[in-house]
Structure formats: structure tokens, C-alpha cells
Amino acid sequence: MSRLLKGKVLGIGLVMPSFLTLLVLVAYPVMMSVRTSLQNRAGEWSWDNYRYIFTEPLISQNIRHTMFVTIISCFFVLIIAYGIALYLRFSTRFFSKLINKLYLIPMFIPGVIAVYGFINFYRNNGWVARLIGTDNMLPIIYHVRGLIMINVWFNIPFTTMLLLSALQGIPNSIIEGARDVGATKWQLFIRFILPLSYKTMLVAITFLFMGIIGSFTAPFLIDRNAPQMLGVSMQQHFSVFNEIGQSSSLAVFMFLLSSAVGCFYIWSNMKHSKKELS
């Protein structure tokens, strides 16, 4: 066996475990969900489940609510995380070093514990209400505000870590050279820092969107009963109403939304790569 053939066999052997895992844990469940979503209660092929999710007013409200919460949460997470990453990258003060050691702590707190603490902190008779007064307390628990706040809290550490790694990859010589020729901070950010961290920002947005749109724990415990996030609505249709076909159609719809964001990320990367080659 030639060395080239051995290399090909070794490469396939190394990739095969990941491919099989992806096939069993992702591809097969997706195909089964698609099949179930296209069947009615009698087991006949039908579009009834998709007609239901696109014509039922409550599901339409759930879709709009999910998209609103996801987009707003992604926006705030990206703005705050990028600001923290910029501060940690270009500041050498003691406070920045302290934040650099502490900002990842929320990633290691279990989601249920974090949500429970959030509820105790921000409910009508919680710690904040006792400090500022119940009359001065805006409704947060069982409100969209609380859901957005907990989404931001959950996702800032990981997003900051991604963006900080991209910013740390920018050579200091580029920053110093731009400053030497008189570039302002705004020009430095727009012309150098932002373009060099653009790809990582797309990765962060992709992970954020997929994670928030399919979240369950926080929306189930903090959000109001109606409208609901699609993850909670899917669980309700599956376990409470025993509507497996409708829950499968919701799952396929969420998968298509996430796939659209993934395709946008791939398209943007390919477009950026073509510009670099041209």
C-alpha cells in the first residue's frame, strides 16, 4: 500500500467516528422528525401539521415571540460581549485583569440553578424589590424582559471568549502602525479591528441564534404562558397534548430556521474568501 493511499485511509478512519456520531445523533432524528411531521394521526401522508403551525393564531404568536426574543437577545449579547472583549484586549488595568479571570464563571453554573437564583433575585418580593421597593419594581419574572435578561446572562461569557480570541489574534504591530499614521480610535475600529474579527463575529451570531431559538429551561421557568418560545410550545404539544406530528413539524421548522442562519454563515465566509483571493 502506497504512502498516499495509507494517508487517505488514515484520514477516513479519523473522520469516520465523528461522521457516524453526526449521522446517528443528528441526521437520523432529523429525518424521523421530517417523516413524522408529514403524517397525520392515521399515519397517512399529509400537510396538515404544517397547515396547523402556519394558520393557528397561537402558533403564529409563538413564532413571532420566539423570533423577537432571539433577535433582541442576540443583539444585546453581541454588543455587550464585543464591548467586554475590546476592553479586555486593549486595557492593561487591574480591573480588566480581574474581569478576564471571572467572566467565564457563569458558564460553569448549571442552567436550572442560575434560573432559580434569577427568579429569587428579580421576582416581585425578591432581593431587588426589597431594596428599591415593590412599587418601583418593573415586572421581570414571567415577562419578556426577564427572558431576554437571562439569555444575555447565559450567553455573554461564551460569546466574549470567542470574540476575545479573535481580537487577541490581531497583531499589535497593526494597531501601533495605524496609530502612528494618525488613525483615531473610531477609524482604528472600523478599518482594522472590525474587519479582522468579522468571521468570528459570524460564528458567535450563528451559535447565539441556534442556542437561543431552541432554548427550553429558561423560557419554561421564566417566560409567560402565552405566547411561548417554540421549544416550550413543542414540548407542550408532545407531552401534554400528545400531538407528535405537530411537535415534529415545529421541530422541523426550528431546524430550518437554524439551517438558514448556518447557510448565511457559510455564504458569508465563502464570499469573504473570494474577496481575499481576488
Which pTM value belongs to this model? 0.86
Residue 129 lies in a domain: yes
Distance, in Å, from the CA atom of 252 to the CA atom of 259, rounded to the nearest integer, reads 10
Residue 225 lies in a domain: yes
Residue 43 lies in a domain: no
Residue 192 lies in a domain: yes
- Please provide the DSSP assignment of 78-100 as one string: HHHHHHHHHHHHH--SHHHHHHH
Residue 138 DSSP label: P
Distance, in Å, from the CA atom of 33 to the CA atom of 249, rounded to the nearest integer, reads 7
**What is the total count of domains within the chain?**
1
- The 10s digit of each residue's pLDDT in 158-215 is 999 999 999 998 888 888 888 888 888 888 899 889 988 988 999 899 999 999 998 9
- The 10s digit of each residue's pLDDT in 60-115 is 999 999 999 999 999 999 999 999 999 999 888 888 888 888 888 888 888 889 99
- φ/ψ of residue 117, rounded to 5: -65, -40
Residue 186 lies in a domain: yes
3-state secondary structure at position 267: helix
Residue 195 lies in a domain: yes
Domain, as residue range, for 205 = 59-277
Contact 232, 219 (CB under 8 A): yes
**For position 189, which CATH number holds?**
1.10.3720.10
- Cis ω for the linkage preceding 227 (within 30 of 0): yes
Handedness of CA 258, 260, 262, 264 (dihedral sign): negative
